[in-house]
Amino acid sequence: MRRALPQVTAWILGLTISTAIFAALRWNAPWDTALAWQSPVGHVWIVSSVAFLALVVGVVAAATAWQRANARTLWIALGFLSMAGFFFVHGLVTPGFLVGKSHYYLTGFSGRLAVLAAALCLTASAVEWPERVSARMVAWRRPALLLAGAAIVAYGVVGLRAPYLLPSMFVTAPVFRYATLGAVTVLAGFACARYAIGYARTGLPLFGAIAIGAMMLAQSTYSMHYGKAWGGTFWLYHFQLLFGYSAIGWGLFWEFSRGRTLQAIEDLSVTDVVEQLRRGHTESIVSLAAALEARDGYTLGHGERVAALAILIGQEMRLSSTRLRGLAAGALLHDVGKIGIPDAVLHKPGRLSTEEFAVIQEHPARGDVMLGASFSGRVECAVIRHHHERWDGAGYPDGLAGTDIPLEARIAAVADVYDALRSNRAYRTAWSATDAAALIEQDAGSHFDPRCAQAFTRVVAAWEARYAADSLVYHERRAA
């Protein structure tokens, strides 16, 4: 049920090969010379391919940004549109194609401007802006898109019709070349890291594709910086950009084939950890959660809230993105084993008999068996099977104690009990936040892992502000 990493393995392999080729050409000048190819027309075709791929993504992102009030989507659109526009100019001003050879410097300048603008905008899309700043960006998103388009067109006109307006001394100055190299390295590296983390949390292909694309931006800048005109390294940087934008185009096509292209672009703009993990749930997980809610009225929203609280606790305890992802899915489906429990027991009002409670106690192991063959990782099943274990060993189904209980299950245990206390039941009303939190603190060291309980106390206020179910009234079904 987890989206598989091999979907981006080929692109990671390509990134590695690209790095190896650059190193070989950089340290072996004869190889670089041997691969030289002076072809203005070939250069234009390759550049146009890169620009076209960037344009496709940019148009989709721009359409989304135009309609939706989201600042990060705006920056994503600006990044791809600027790359497409400046790189088209980079191709058109190829010496000997449409402009004279005396203006050769425009080609390099346009290429550097393209990768710098793309890296800057991708970085801006990965930043979590203050609410006031984000609101201002949203308010000006349409003028910003129009202004960016006009600026790119104006630059193209100047480059083709009046190239002398760009002084060659400024363009070819070493300080400019090294400044762009350093800036793209930092900016693209930051964007790559943020989108790679997003991929680890969600498994959504477009996150991984843009992380690869951002890294290829940085790589291409080094090839551009150290390559000589028409040499092997010169051509390498064009193929690196083509490779990077092919990865992004592939990610977009993947989402298009699933009928969620615009949704995928919007997903890229999400930086909140809980929301990222929620959007990363596969269709199978979402369907199972819906089936569980339909089966048991009490679980209406319970799984989602337990998952949200578990994520906040796990994040506070510095769990990796991969482990948070498993924790989120496991917590969402922690009660999936209840699907097989008879209605007479599951929906009985009031207290259960000893025999009936024994039936309820079967649901963790039952859920583990149901989904054991479906999850590619064991974190999810560990949460499902062991979320009713106790720190002192008095829990079920396996009577595990202390650190023998998987950490993710210990976290889910705290989240599960707290939300249960904060929810209305047929035989009692919801506890107050103060009383429920006091019980978690009181049972730390007996029912709960003390570290998990301490992390809970640091995040519960944030959970209460966003996810508490004080206003929800559960209409539990009665047994027939």
Task: Tell me what pLDDT residue 60 has.
Answer: 84
Cα–Cα distance for residue pair 195/192, rounded to 1 Å: 5
Inside any domain, residue 204: yes
Q: Copy the structure tokens of residue 65.
A: 């940004």
Output the pLDDT for position 206. Answer: 80
Give pLDDT, residue 98: 64
* Cβ(226)–Cβ(26) below 8 Å: yes
The answer to whether residues 97 and 194 belong to one domain is yes
Residue 369 lies in a domain: yes
| Beta-ladder partners of 428 | 425
DSSP result, 435-463: HHHHHHHHTBTTTB-HHHHHHHHHHHHHH
Q: Residue 47: is it exposed, middle or buried by C-beta count within 10 angstroms (0-12/13-18/19+)?
A: buried
Of 245, 268, 291, the position where a domain reaches its end is: 268
What CA–CA distance (Å, rounded) separates 375 from 245?
31
Same-domain pairing of 315 and 393: yes
Residues 288 and 339 in one domain: yes
Same domain, 371 and 312: yes
CB 196 within 8 A of CB 211: yes
Domain annotation covers residue 325: yes
Residue 347: inside a domain: yes
pLDDT value of position 427: 64
Distance CA 208, CA 388 (A): 35
pLDDT at 205: 78
For residue 258, tell me if it sits in a domain. Answer: yes
Domain assignment of residue 103, given as a range: 6-268
- Say if residue 344 is in the same domain as residue 249: no
- Name the token pair of 28: 């072996």
11 plus 133 within the same structural domain:
yes
- 164 and 228: one domain? yes
Q: Show which of 236, 268, 300 is a domain's final residue.
A: 268
The backbone region for 402, taken as left when phi is positive above 0, alpha when psi lies in -120 to 50, beta otherwise, is left
Question: Do residue 47 and residue 165 come from a single domain?
Answer: yes
Residue 472 maps to a domain:
no
For residue 116, what are the β-bridge partners? none
Provide the 10 A C-beta neighbour count for residue 300: 17
| 475 in any annotated domain | no
Q: Under DSSP, is residue 424 helix (H, G, I), strand (E, B) or coil?
A: coil
CATH at residue 308: 1.10.3210.10
Task: Yes or no: say if 8 and 205 are a contact pair by the CB < 8 Å rule.
Answer: yes
Closest C-alpha to 212, from 202, 226, 198: 198
* Segments in 127-173 forming alpha helices (H): 131-139, 141-161, 168-172
Q: Give the C-alpha separation, 324 to 275, whole Å.
A: 12
CATH of the domain at 187: 1.20.1070
Residue-level pLDDT at 36 = 84
Q: Using 70 as the pLDDT threshold, list the residues of the chain that sit under it.
A: 1-8, 96-104, 167, 169-171, 255-284, 286-287, 290-300, 373-377, 426-427, 469-480
- Cα Rg of the chain (Å, integer): 28
Question: What's residue 4's pLDDT?
Answer: 43
284 with 245, same domain: the answer is no
Instruction: Answer yes or no: are the C-beta atoms of 416 and 299 closer than 8 Å.
Output: no
Listed residues 251, 268, 285: the one ending a domain: 268
Q: Are residues 299 and 187 in the same domain?
A: no
Residue at 478 is within a domain? no
In the chain, the largest separation of any two C-alpha atoms, in whole Å, equals 92
Q: What is the dihedral of CA 160, 161, 165, 167, to 10 degrees?
A: 40
Q: Give the tokens for residue 450.
A: 């003390």
List 95's β-bridge partners, or say none.
Answer: 99
Separation between Cα atoms, residue 167 and residue 171, nearest integer Å: 7
* Nearest 10 degrees: Cα torsion 52, 54, 60, 63: -100
| Statement to judge: residues 253 and 303 lie in one domain | no
Identify whether the C-beta of residue 45 lies closer than 8 Å to the C-beta of residue 90: no
C-beta pairs of 138-145 under 8 Å, 24+ apart in sequence:
138/69, 138/70, 138/71, 138/74, 141/65, 141/66, 141/69, 141/71, 141/74, 142/66, 144/74, 144/78, 145/62, 145/65, 145/66, 145/74, 145/77, 145/78, 145/81
Tally of domains in the chain: 2
Looking at the fold, whether 237 and 295 belong to one and the same domain comes out as: no
Helix (H) / strand (E) containing 95: none
